[in-house]
């Protein structure tokens, strides 16, 4: 391949099976991911993790911290910033409970995978340090689903800072994928006093990188990424500072992006509406 686009070799066969009515699409699971930013000497840096190469799904690909919504993420929590109802309007999520669950998932997954917590003891403060044995014990309990996020915040006397998040994009996994996600992408600025670390069991390494440098690595075929990752990464490039990107999130279009696959004379044509760079043409008899 000429770039780093993640493209599983089994996709054409699955696309043909879907077109023939031999494959029933799985229902997508709600998910959230966060593009965590901080300022560097030459502009914003974004925190990315490299998925373990041993993983069956997108092994070796670069991504952002994130994951699926926990069924308990809609439980009442201490809350600061736009209300769940306001978030429902912004996300197109349908109702306040779902919107709260998505926002909670974004904050929870960022803490679970990067050690960064967008919460504070009051509506206008943020915790300054999330290291130490007691914090790690709670983080691991969250990862293992032994502790709900609402209980975690309550017993630490914290409120979730939804105002520190900006909704950026929404992508839905193609219908021919066996594991599907309806994922909202958010942007956030690293809180003062906190630092990231590789806390994810799915990542072999993490890096702070300029969006343009990471995109150039993808274009050279050196960095593997899924379409949503490189597409959102490119949209960060114009911003001169992390705060500018967060402020710019208010104008972002959250119309969901879903890949379209069709057969044209036996050839598989795979495309993502609005993102022509990802279009693939696979002749009949070829897998990729």
pLDDT tens digits along 35-48: 999 999 999 999 99
Query: 24-246: what fold?
Result: Nucleoside Triphosphate Pyrophosphohydrolase (3.90.79)
**pLDDT tens-digit readout, 218-277:** 999 999 999 999 999 999 999 999 999 999 999 999 999 999 888 887 788 889 999 999
Cα distance between residue 33 and residue 68, in whole Å: 9
Confidence of residue 31 (pLDDT cuts 50, 70, 90): very high
Which region, left, alpha or beta, applies to residue 49 given φ > 0 means left and ψ of -120 to 50 means alpha?
beta
What distance in Å separates the CA atoms of residue 248 and residue 97, rounded to the nearest whole number?
26
Where in the chain are the domains?
24-246
Q: What does each C-alpha distance from 244 to 94, 167, 175, 220, 250 come to in angstroms?
A: 28, 14, 35, 28, 11
| pTM of the predicted protein model | 0.93
The C-alpha torsion from 110 through 116 and 121 to 125, rounded to 10°, is -110
Which neighbouring-strand residues pair with 165?
Answer: 188
Residue 55 binned pLDDT confidence (cut-offs 50, 70, 90):
low
CB-based contact 158:78 (threshold 8 Å): yes
Pairing, β 181-189 against β 165-172: antiparallel
Number of Cβ atoms within 10 Å of the Cβ of 140: 13
> What is the distance, to the nearest Å, from the Cα of residue 271 to the centroid of all Cα atoms in its chain?
20
């Amino acid at each position: 391949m000429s770039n780093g686009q993640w493209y599983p070799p089994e996709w054409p066969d699955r696309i043909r099976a879907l077109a023939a009515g031999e494959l029933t699409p799985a229902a997508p699971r709600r998910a959230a991911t966060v593009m965590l930013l901080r300022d560097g000497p030459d502009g914003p840096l974004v925190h990315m993790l490299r998925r373990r190469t041993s993983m069956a799904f997108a092994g070796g690909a670069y991504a952002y911290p994130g994951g699926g919504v926990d069924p308990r993420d809609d439980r009442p929590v201490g809350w600061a910033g736009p209300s769940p109802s306001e978030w429902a309007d912004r996300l197109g999520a349908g109702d306040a409970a779902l919107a709260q669950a998505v926002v909670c998932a974004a904050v929870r997954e960022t803490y679970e995978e990067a050690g960064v917590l967008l919460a504070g003891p009051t509506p206008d403060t943020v915790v300054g340090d999330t290291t130490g044995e007691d914090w790690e014990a709670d983080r691991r309990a969250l990862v293992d689903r032994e502790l709900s996020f609402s209980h975690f915040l309550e017993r630490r006397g914290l409120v979730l800072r939804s105002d520190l998040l900006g909704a950026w994009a929404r992508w839905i996994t193609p219908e021919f994928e066996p594991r599907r996600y309806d994922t909202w992408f958010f942007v956030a600025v690293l809180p003062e006093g906190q630092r990231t670390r590789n806390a994810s069991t799915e990542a072999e390494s993490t890096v702070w990188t300029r969006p343009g440098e990471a995109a150039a690595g993808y274009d050279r075929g050196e960095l593997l990424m899924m379409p949503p990752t490189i597409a959102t990464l490119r949209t960060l490039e114009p911003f001169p500072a992390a705060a500018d990107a967060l402020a710019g999130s208010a104008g972002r279009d959250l119309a969901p992006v879903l890949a379209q696959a069709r057969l044209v004379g036996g050839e598989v044509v795979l495309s993502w509406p609005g993102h022509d760079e990802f279009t693939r043409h696979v002749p009949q008899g070829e897998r990729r």
